[in-house]
């Protein structure tokens, strides 16, 4: 993964311009191929990192917008160091001088049970300050070290801001004479040191610093840079253009070299060279036999004339010969400055970011997009990047012509030509081979599913971004669906259980229906006779009567029932009064059923109402049935008025209120209970009919005798 921090002014798209405001670090997955027409902006934004604690939210409070900061890294972590803060007192307070931000991607060293990846704030030691910007950074993961060379500070060495044009005292304009070293050998206890540069090593703005694997711990090679650059002044004007023109070109003709092992600075003159260069980028490519180390420098400008054409040429500084060779001329339309570059493969240089000349009121877009890739073996710009296509590095033909040898190395120029070593000690450093076993090779990269022909979708601006399906949706949806399934299962079980219970009840009822009712109750036993009571019953609120042999006691106002439909009395709420001395005759206990009675009950014989005249009419709204087959009288407690259970006919017809009969003797009213209706008193013809056919005062007769009927003695 490659990351970019600071210097984002070069991205000329609406979405990338928002990145520094949001506190985002851009990253790119090297397993993803792309072409020139690919939406590379989408690739860069696909794996962004927020500088906020925890990697989410607004990063301004933790790490506000910095311009031209640096990343100091090894293979497991990196620090964000330096840079000019964008001042906005309404949004955030600037960080203190001692604060730096660290990102840990992997643990190393002693076991860390509580370790987790992410950003955290770290305190710089005394003598090291974050108040520096526009310096040159280099990292050596094999040594777990990184460096920050020179740069610019405020005149007071105190705080400064990128947008402080009106106040020179808080603007970075003075070259720093420091080299900051970060030792990351021990994770969580990294060591920062600040050393002062020797007087002959000039401080400057935006040089390129390259770590080269030469000597015991390698060397730092400092290329280019400028004094008094235009960004150190107001309105893109150099504070001292004359001195900058005089002093800056030497930084590409006499190279400053730092030996890490001996903590020693050297200088070595070169032959040829491009002149003043700043805000370019540089990488180093060792020959296969390590007979030469070739530093490729691309782009940039002179640091003064920001409105003139930038450089698009590619220069190679070969070590240890210290000779310059231009391998690519380039073109002005493709030029850029403020970019960074690195080697994804040994034969390819990837250029990220940058900006174009400030020739008008608006900036123009970078030709071929924010990412460009150069084949350093051939010196040609590539049409596409494909992680599956790479090769071994070969020394460029023009470089071979300068230092001798071939593409695999075998350089014949093994010392500076023609001057020789400026300091013999430097020659000794180059004579010491570096242990390449310490260096880690990350390539090749396994291509991802995204093909080179595919182009990621352009992200939408903030506030309109379509975030897709959040990560929490899957577990939440699983829980919801699980609850729905559980609820459905419980509901299905309840319905099944209820149906089974209903089915069992129906089978019991059907079995009882199949048995003659009189025999059923005779076998089960007779309930005890209850005292004669008067009941008031309303069909309007009726429920189906309980047919269980064991009947519960009910209140006098218990409702009646019908197995089919429910009807109300014609004269509802008409009060009924019991006539004195009209109680039913005393029942003769232990009197068995006669043979005729048993046969009649078993056969389901039902007396029919045949004594009505043709002019008889029903005067009340009754619970209708095709055949009126029975009438049942009940006490107010819901139990039969005789020792017997209510007659079987109660389950076959609906009860009715009253019947008016017109005969030759006049109009009379008859009710099933022998109750006097407003039309007139009468006795139950059915009860009399039963009494005439059975002289025995058995339980059946008693059940058919209305409590209002006169006693037959």
Residue 404, CA distances (Å) to 322, 325, 407, 409 in order: 13, 13, 10, 8
pLDDT for the residue 140: 97
Higher-confidence residue: 104 or 704? 104
- Select the more confidently predicted residue: 668 or 123: 123
Q: At residue 336, what are phi and psi to the nearest 5 degrees?
A: -160, 165
Kindly state the average pLDDT of the residues 457-481. Answer: 47
pLDDT in the model for residue 36: 86
Contact 11, 17 (CB under 8 A): yes
d(CA 559, CA 566): 11
Listed ranges 145-154, 224-233, 438-447, 559-568; the one with the highest mean pLDDT: 145-154
Q: Count CA atoms within 13 Å of residue 502 on its CB side.
A: 6
Name the strand (E) or helix (H) holding 208. strand 208-212
Query: Most distant CA pair in the chain: distance in Å?
Result: 157
pLDDT of residue 592: 55
Among 213, 203, 366, CA closest to 287: 213
Tell whether the model's pLDDT for residue 584 goes beyond 50.
Answer: no
Provide the pLDDT for residue 503: 59
pLDDT at 47: 76
pLDDT number for residue 379: 95
Predicted pLDDT of residue 165: 63
Share of the chain above pLDDT 70, in %: 59
pLDDT of residue 28: 87
Residue 7 predicted with pLDDT over 70 = no
10 Å CB burial of residue 192 (0-12, 13-18, 19+) is buried
Q: What distance in Å separates the CA atoms of residue 639 and residue 644, rounded to the nearest whole number?
A: 9
**pLDDT in the model for residue 142:** 96
What are the tens digits of pLDDT across the range 653-697? Answer: 333 344 444 444 444 444 444 444 444 444 444 444 444 444 444
Of the candidates 141, 434, 411, 375, the residue with the CA atom closest to the CA atom of residue 288: 411
Element (H, E) at 489: helix 473-514
Residue 325's pLDDT is 97
Q: What is the pLDDT of residues 314-368, one digit of tens each?
A: 999 999 999 999 999 999 999 999 999 999 999 999 999 999 998 777 778 888 8
Please write the tens of the pLDDT for every residue from 28-38. 889 999 988 88
The answer to whether the peptide bond before residue 320 is cis (omega within 30 degrees of 0) is: yes
Domains of the chain: residue spans and CATH: 2-452 (2.120.10.80), 515-713 (no CATH)
45-91 confidence digits (pLDDT tens): 887 877 766 555 555 556 678 889 999 999 999 999 999 988 887 77
* pLDDT tens, residue by residue, 499-553: 776 655 554 444 444 444 444 444 445 444 444 444 444 434 433 334 333 333 3
Query: 382-426: per-residue pLDDT in tens?
Result: 999 999 999 999 999 999 999 999 999 999 999 998 889 999 999
**Which of 142-156, 227-241, 271-285, 296-310 has the weakest average pLDDT?**
227-241
pLDDT in tens, 428-464: 999 999 999 999 888 899 888 654 434 333 333 333 3
Give percent of the chain with pLDDT exceeding 90: 43
pLDDT of 94 over the 60 cut? yes
- For the entire predicted model, the pTM comes to 0.63
- Report whether pLDDT(646) > 70: no
Q: How far is CA 327 from the centre of its chain?
A: 50
- The helix-helix angle for 517-524 and 595-603 (nearest 10°) equals 120
Which two tokens mark 687? Answer: 């009860």
Average confidence score pLDDT of the chain: 73
The stretch 288-307 carries a mean pLDDT of 96
What is the torsional sign of CA 147, 357, 229, 379?
positive
List, for residues 609-633, the tens digit of each pLDDT value.
Answer: 444 444 434 333 333 444 333 334 4
**CA 648 – CA 617 distance, rounded (Å):** 26
Return d(Cα 703, Cα 698) in angstroms, integer. Answer: 9
pLDDT of the residue at 549? 37
Question: Which residues is 318 bridged to in the sheet?
Answer: 294, 323
């Amino acid at each position: 993964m490659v990351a970019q921090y600071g210097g984002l002014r070069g991205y000329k798209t609406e979405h990338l311009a928002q990145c520094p405001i949001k506190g985002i670090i851009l990253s790119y997955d090297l397993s993803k191929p792309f072409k020139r027409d690919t939406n590379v902006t989408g690739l860069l934004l696909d794996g962004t990192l927020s500088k906020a604690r925890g990697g989410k939210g607004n990063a301004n409070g933790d790490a506000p917008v910095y311009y031209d900061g640096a990343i100091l890294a090894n293979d497991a972590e990196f620090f964000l160091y330096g840079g000019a803060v964008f001042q906005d007192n309404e949004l955030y307070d600037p960080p203190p001088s001692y604060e730096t931000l660290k990102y840990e991607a992997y643990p190393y060293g002693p076991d860390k049970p509580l370790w987790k990846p992410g950003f955290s704030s770290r305190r710089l030691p005394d003598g090291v300050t974050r108040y520096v910007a526009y310096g040159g950074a280099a990292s050596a993961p094999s040594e777990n070290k990184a460096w920050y060379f020179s740069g610019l500070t405020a005149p007071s060495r105190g705080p400064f801001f990128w947008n402080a044009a009106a106040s020179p005292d808080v603007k970075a304009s003075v070259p720093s004479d420091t080299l900051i070293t970060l030792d990351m050998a021990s994770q969580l206890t990294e060591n920062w040191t600040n050393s002062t540069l020797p007087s002959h090593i000039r401080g400057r703005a935006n040089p390129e610093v390259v770590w080269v694997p030469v000597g015991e711990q390698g060397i730092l090679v400092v290329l280019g840079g400028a004094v008094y650059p235009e960004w150190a002044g107001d309105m893109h004007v150099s504070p001292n253009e004359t001195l900058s023109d005089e002093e800056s070109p030497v930084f590409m003709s006499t190279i400053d070299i730092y030996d890490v092992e001996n903590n020693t600075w050297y200088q070595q003159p070169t032959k040829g060279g491009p002149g003043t260069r700043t805000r370019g980028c540089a990488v180093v490519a060792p020959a296969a036999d390590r007979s030469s180390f070739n530093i490729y420098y691309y782009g940039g400008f002179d640091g003064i004339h920001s409105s003139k054409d930038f450089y698009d040429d590619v220069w190679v500084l070969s070590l240890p010969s210290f000779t310059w060779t231009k391998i690519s001329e380039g073109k002005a339309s493709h030029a850029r400055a403020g970019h960074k570059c690195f080697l994804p493969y040994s034969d390819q240089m990837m250029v990220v970011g940058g900006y174009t000349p400030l020739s008008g009121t608006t900036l123009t877009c970078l030709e071929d997009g924010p990412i460009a890739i150069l084949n350093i073996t051939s010196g040609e710009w590539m049409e596409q990047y494909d992680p599956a296509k790479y090769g071994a590095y070969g020394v460029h033909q023009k470089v071979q012509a300068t230092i001798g040898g071939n593409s695999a190395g075998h350089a014949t120029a093994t010392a500076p030509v023609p001057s020789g070593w400026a300091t013999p000690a430097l020659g000794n450093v180059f004579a010491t081979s570096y242990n390449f076993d310490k260096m880690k090779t990350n390539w090749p990269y396994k291509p991802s599913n995204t093909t080179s022909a595919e182009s990621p979708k352009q992200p939408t601006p903030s506030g309109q971004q379509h975030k897709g399906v959040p990560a929490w949706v899957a577990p939440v949806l699983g829980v919801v669906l699980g609850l729905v399934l559980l609820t459905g299962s419980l509901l299905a079980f309840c319905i099944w259980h209820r149906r089974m219970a209903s089915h069992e009840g129906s089978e019991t009822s059907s079995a009882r229906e199949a048995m003659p009712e009189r025999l059923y109750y005779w076998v089960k036993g007779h309930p005890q006779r209850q005292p004669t009571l008067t009941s008031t019953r309303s069909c309007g609120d009726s429920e189906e009567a309980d047919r269980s042999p064991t009947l519960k006691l009910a209140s006098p106002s218990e409702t009646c029932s019908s197995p089919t439909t429910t009807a109300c009395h014609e004269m509802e709420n008409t009060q009924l009064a019991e006539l004195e001395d009209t109680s039913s005759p005393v029942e003769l206990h232990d009197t068995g059923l006669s043979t005729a009675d048993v046969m009649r009950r078993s056969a389901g014989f039902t007396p029919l109402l045949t004594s009505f005249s043709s002019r008889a009419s029903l005067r009340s709204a009754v619970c209708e049935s095709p055949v009126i087959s029975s009438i049942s009288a009940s006490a107010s407690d819901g139990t039969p008025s005789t020792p017997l259970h209510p007659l079987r006919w109660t389950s076959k017809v609906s009860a009715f209120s009253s019947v008016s009969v017109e005969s030759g003797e006049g109009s009379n009213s008859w009710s099933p209970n022998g109750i006097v209706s407003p039309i007139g008193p009468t006795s139950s013809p059915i009860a009399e009919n039963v009494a005439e056919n059975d002289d025995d005062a058995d339980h059946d007769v008693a059940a058919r005798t209305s409590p209002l009927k006169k006693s037959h003695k």
